Amino acid sequence: MVNISRRADPKRGLIRLVKDIRRDGQLYVLLLIAVAFVILFKYAAYPGLRIAFMNYKPARGYAGSEWVGFDIFAKVFSDKDFTRALSNSLSFNFLDLAVGFPIPILLAILLNELRLKKFKRISQTILYLPHFLSWVIIASIALTLFKPETGLVNILLRNAGVIDQGIPFLTEKWHWAVTYLLIGVWQGMGWGSIIYLAAITGISAELYEAATVDGASRLRKIWHVTLPGIRPTMVTLLIMNLGRVMGSNFERLDSLGNVQVKPFQYQLAIYIYEKGLAGGNFSRATAVGLFQSLVGLLLVLAADRVAKKLGEDGLI
Amino acid sequence: MTSTTQISKRRAGMADWIIVIILTALCLTCVLPFVHVAAKSISSNTAVMAKSVALWPKGINIDAYRSIFRDGQLTHAMIYSVWMTILFTVIGLALTICAAYPLSRKRLRGRSLFALLLMFTLYFSAGLIPEYLLLKQLGLLNTMWALVLPLAFSPYNMLIMKTFFQSGIPDSLEEAAFLDGASNLTILTRIVLPLSKPIIATLCLFYAVGRWNAYADAKYYITRKALQPIQYLLSNMILSSGSDAISMSESAAVVSTPEVLQAAAIMFATVPILVLYPFVQKYFVQGVMIGAVKG
């Protein structure tokens, strides 16, 4: 009905549009301030992406550098460093997900089962803390704990007679991989549990009562009531996280990494920084960045589609 | 009947203890590292070199902290970082309100187009080099603004605020004010914002903590020492200087061993957060809850 009347009188629609915009003029002004800001500091960077298709020389600028089509990408994809960085990024992100995804769920269930309210509140406060520390501080503390000679953990283990020589937690690549992953879990578990705790709060108390009447044990209640109750949250978060497997956290890698663990620390963020800003190969670093952004965007869009198909909220 | 209830009660007791033990252990992993670093930072050189300092300081002295203040680098970076963080937070919050309020009004024409425009950068970033070149073009490299402006608008925070405006402010309130002849701006500043204090506090903290902790952009855009925020300085002092050294001016650093100095430097940068954290923590949780509705 509405459509028909609009089509019948386009002039009237236009007048209403103008009227609406007039009424909300102030709102548009506010909006345009934000939009202008984003255009100036974010969108204005997009044209810079063209150097992924140029042989860009900083000294010659955009105008003086020649276009080379997809040459840079061809070079990137045959670059051993790039393949290494890509496979490291993907492996570590999947490992992060495999270890880091279930832990917040377990933690939320544990916290929820806790009957001492005060203890619960205090432990929540403590467990959220690592999320608020910078990677520099986390890495510095890790260093004082895990150094082979002078780190507290190694000293204690040596004094207890468990080991003769310090464990190279941060200086041998396989040990580093484990330390890196566990520190990530440690940093994110408390914070990650908040969202699940909120979801658990939303589960109807009647379900638990009914389960109690049926004589369900605590574990059974967790299995048959709590877990199904937070399933939508789990699915949404899992899909969201899968959409992010192309990302890499420069600060976490940079602060925890060192020369000895380079083979594993060398991930996309490090590649882009070292080849680009540090090495001066702007075109190649931009091409890798563009590749990362594009794949990341596609993954997020796909994740959103899947989430909506499954009847969840979606992200966008 | 009574016996079964007793059994289930006793079993529950056991489970409770196991849960308490696990959670206590996890909490200790969050607390003890700080206790250790704090103890080390006020211990004597000999005790630290003898590797006898665990959780309790030995041979208490505050020489390392004296060195930090005499050296001045960290204190300067701390003041600079506080100032920069405040500026960043104010600008970020203002932009977020500017965008979130109009977008929260369902009647606004072109709302979804503007939303897409503002959210897009969250999903597709130009990447390090183009952003670096942009800042270079704008003449912002090696200025404090390089650390303030590019990150000042956070689409994610905007989303949280928009969600709050949509669900936390009743439409009827706005309509009533509208009928009384109030303009959009009056409604925003007189009605909406005063009702939004909790979310404003939350987002202030999101912006502030984000800025305070980040150092990658300083590594990319800043080479002048005086403009380095404290996290970056700390990273240069402790992480980049090799495993057993700390870079500080000779005269200042001579009193303490590098290890004690490192511990003191870590504490110096962490204590402000540790002190503020218990008071502001609840606002963060609030933000996550709102963000979880759609984020």
Structure tokens at B20: 């308490």
Residues of B in contact with A286 (CB under 8 A): 127, 129-130
Query: Are B47 and B89 found together in one domain?
Result: no
Residues of B in contact with A254 (CB under 8 A): 216, 219, 235
Is residue A252 within 8 A of residue A188, CB to CB? The reply is: no
Residues of B in contact with A13 (CB under 8 A): none
Whether A92 maps to a domain, the answer reads yes
Test A189 with B26 for CB contact under 8 angstroms. yes
**CB within 8 Å of B210: residues ≥ 6 apart:** B151, B154
Q: Give percent of chain B with pLDDT exceeding 70.
A: 89
pLDDT of residue B253: 55
Query: Are B71 and B40 found together in one domain?
Result: no
Query: Are B54 and B77 found together in one domain?
Result: no
Whether A96 maps to a domain, the answer reads yes
pLDDT digits (tens, 9 = 90+) for B129-170: 999 999 999 999 999 999 999 999 999 999 989 989 988 888
- The mean pLDDT of A99-112, rounded to a whole number, is 95
Distance CA A129, CA A254 (A): 21
Average pLDDT score over chain A: 89
- The mean pLDDT of B201-220, rounded to a whole number, is 93
Closest among A158, A147, A179 to B37, alpha carbons compared: A147
Query: Are B228 and B132 found together in one domain?
Result: yes
Select from B12, B114, B219 the Cβ nearest to the Cβ of A35: B114
Query: Are B70 and B49 found together in one domain?
Result: no
pLDDT bin (cut points 50, 70, 90) of residue A23 is: confident
pLDDT bin (cut points 50, 70, 90) of residue B247 is: low
CATH number at residue B293: 1.10.3720.10
pLDDT of residue A264: 94
pLDDT digits (tens, 9 = 90+) for A258-286: 889 999 999 999 999 999 999 989 999 99
Whether A220 maps to a domain, the answer reads yes
pLDDT bin (cut points 50, 70, 90) of residue A123 is: very high
Number of domains in chain A: 1
What's the gap in Å between the CA of A43 and the closest CA on chain B? 8
Distance CA A98, CA A286 (A): 30
pLDDT of residue B295: 38
> Helix or strand or coil: residue B52?
coil
Mutate to test the interface with B, among A27, A157, A234, A271 (most CBs of B within 10 A): A27
Is the model's pLDDT at A2 over the cut of 90?
no
Is B223 in the A-facing interface, judged by CB distances under 8 Å? no
Query: Are B54 and B141 found together in one domain?
Result: no
**Of the ranges A2-6, A51-55, A136-140, A198-202, which one carries the lowest mean pLDDT score?**
A2-6
pLDDT digits (tens, 9 = 90+) for A160-193: 888 888 899 998 999 999 999 999 999 999 999 9
- The mean pLDDT of A232-246, rounded to a whole number, is 85
What are the b/e assignments for A162-190, b being 16+ CB within 10 Å?
eeeebbbbbbeeebbbebbbebbbbbbbb
Residues of A in contact with B134 (CB under 8 A): 41, 44-45, 48
Residue B39's domain comprises 1-61
Distance CA A235, CA A109 (A): 16
pLDDT bin (cut points 50, 70, 90) of residue B294 is: very low
Residue A238's domain comprises 71-309
Is the model's pLDDT at B49 over the cut of 90?
no
pLDDT of residue A7: 54
Select from A128, A137, A152 the Cβ nearest to the Cβ of B281: A128
Query: Are B20 and B106 found together in one domain?
Result: no
What's the gap in Å between the CA of A293 and the closest CA on chain B? 6
CATH number at residue A177: 1.10.3720.10
**Of the ranges A200-214, B107-121, B214-228, B254-268, which one carries the lowest mean pLDDT score?**
B254-268
